[in-house]
Amino acid sequence: MLALIGSGEYLPSMEAVDRELIRRLPSPPRVVCLPTAAGTEGAGRIGYWTRLGIEHFTRLGVPVRSLPVIDRAGANDPAFAGAVANTNFVYLSGGHPDYLFQTLNGSLVWKAVLFVMENGGLLAGCSAGAMVLGEILLGIPPRRRMPGFGLLPGAMVIPHFDEFPLWMSTLLRFWAGRGLTTVGIEANTALFVKDGKMEVLGSGGVTVWDRAGKKRHTQGNLPSGPQF
């Protein structure tokens, strides 16, 4: 199971969505938050995401830990990997998508994340955490194409999609997303993916832009579209 979130992680506006994600877990929830994407932003910012994640899921009444996986050494720490493997809900918060990918790719912690998913658990990513789940992710400058984890093969994920003017999203698709399906996710909204089926959760919409055209979907199952 995957949940790709446009923005709003750990805020009250996402409580209803996260309660629904928790409800869909196959066993009692055990949440771990990874502030990895903020690893270059300093101790204050890392602490902010750590506190916010713990406070959020504590309000929802579920066990939660935040692990300081903020560099490559942490990503290859067997203790952190073991802690991740013993959960069923992994949450990647926002920051720098390229740093997040480079830090986790091929690491013990990432292998533990895949283990969680293989055993029926959920991986949620917000903003940068959502971007890295596609086949490619936007670089700086946007013309640069960089690899993602490919959990949505053939897709480029654009979070904060409601903040982009049409001309900008069109350019992003032209520059980096040629030949791919663009998945634009708005604030306080999640695209939930399970067994090739997609569903929109939350107050906003998800725009799927593929060779067949461009269509915005709101709360509920997507009646058609690419099967990831």
Contact 94, 60 (CB under 8 A): no
Tokens of 46: 């890392």
Give every CB contact of residue 185 below 8 A, 6+ residues apart in sequence: 4, 5, 6, 130, 157, 158, 159, 161, 191, 204, 206
CA atoms within 13 A on the CB side of 122: 27
Which residues of the chain register pLDDT less than 70? 139-144, 165, 167-169, 171-178, 223-228
pLDDT of residue 178: 67
pLDDT of amino acid 220: 72
13-31 pLDDT per residue, tens: 999 999 999 999 999 999 9
pLDDT for 140 equals 55
Question: SS3 for 161-191, per residue?
Answer: HHHCCHHHHHHHHHHHCCCCEEEEECCCEEE
- 200: Cβ–Cβ under 8 A, 6 or more apart, which residues? 189, 190, 191, 192, 206, 217, 218, 219, 220, 222
Per-domain boundaries in the chain: 2-221
Q: Residue 18's pLDDT is what?
A: 98
Q: Please name the residues in contact with 115: beta carbons below 8 A apart, sequence gap of 6 or more.
A: 85
Nearest alpha-carbon partner for 116 in 53, 108, 10, 132: 108
pTM for the model: 0.92
Q: Given this model, what pLDDT does residue 172 score?
A: 66
At residue 101, φ and ψ (nearest 5 deg) are -65, -50
pLDDT for res 223? 66
Homologous superfamily, domain 2-221: Class I glutamine amidotransferase (GATase) domain (3.40.50.880)
Rounded Cα gap, residues 129 and 93, in angstroms: 6
Question: What tens digit of pLDDT does each residue of 75-95 get?
Answer: 999 999 999 999 999 999 999
Amino acid in position 55: E
